Amino acid sequence: MTVAEKIVNTINVSNFNDNREILIEDHQNISFSTSYCSAKKPRLSNFDYSLESLKSLQIPDADLEDEEIDVASEYAFETAYSLFMKLYDFFGPDFLYCSSTLESRGGINLVWNNQSLDKKIWVRIPFSSSLKSSIYCQEAEESIFIEGLSSETMMKLLLWLKKNRRNVLKDVL
């Protein structure tokens, strides 16, 4: 069992709402410290919230119509989950918050933002292995598109995302 998987097994999702405001504050400050130890109120980390967002895609979305696909496909979920585990093993407590949403055919969108630096990474994971994943990165008016998805590429891009200085996107990879 990896370090990330051990943490997954200890997450208490009932703390999600209690800790949301704290995380919002941290996110806005682009703070990557997740040493949230408090005797009164244990705080969830960016990784915990990211995983919670991803795992919510396994539960039927009540906001969707009956005929719509309301959960992520097994392929999309496992691909995203595996990526999270590899990234957590690399970044540990510096894991950046990622928003997961459902694509209309059961694929998954993963989005990492750094608003203060106007940087964004949008990963599209398709519902089926017959289609390719892709990564779209944007920094101000510059953008790059990468076909395919690897944890090594994502590690480089997430390091670029959190850097407090602007650097030429195409030179990152």
Partner 1 sequence: MTNSDSSFLYRAIRASSWVDKITDLIQPNAYDLRGDERGFSTDLRPEKTLNLSMCYGILKVSKQDVLSLDFELDNDYETHFNIIGIPNPDEEPEKYQKMINKLIEKTEIYAKWTKSEFNKIKNQELDWKDFII
Beta carbon of residue 2, minimum distance to partner 1 (angstroms, whole number) = 24
Whichever of 79 and 113 has its CB closer to partner 1, that residue is 113
As given in the structure block, the two tokens for residue 99 are: 């928003």
Does residue 67 belong to the site contacting partner 1 (CB under 8 A)?
A: yes
Does residue 59 belong to the site contacting partner 1 (CB under 8 A)?
A: no
Does residue 169 belong to the site contacting partner 1 (CB under 8 A)?
A: no
Measured CA to CA, the distance from residue 115 to residue 1 in angstroms comes to 34
* Stretch touching partner 1 by CB under 8 A, among 1-9, 16-24, 76-84, 152-160: 16-24
* Stretch touching partner 1 by CB under 8 A, among 71-79, 88-96, 118-126, 153-161: 118-126
**Cα torsion for 47, 13, 43, 32, to the nearest 10°?**
10
* Stretch touching partner 1 by CB under 8 A, among 2-10, 34-42, 60-68, 155-163: 60-68
Which of 116-124's residues contact partners 24+ apart within 8 Å by CB, and which partners?
116/30, 117/30, 117/161, 117/163, 117/164, 117/166, 119/160, 119/161, 121/154, 121/157, 121/158, 121/161, 123/83, 123/149, 123/154
Among 3, 5, 20, 142, binds partner 1 (CB under 8 A): 20
As given in the structure block, the two tokens for residue 161 are: 């995302």
Does residue 124 belong to the site contacting partner 1 (CB under 8 A)?
A: yes
Among 30, 92, 99, 159, binds partner 1 (CB under 8 A): 99
Reported as type and span, the H/E element at residue 102 is strand 99-102
Among 6, 9, 38, 63, binds partner 1 (CB under 8 A): 63
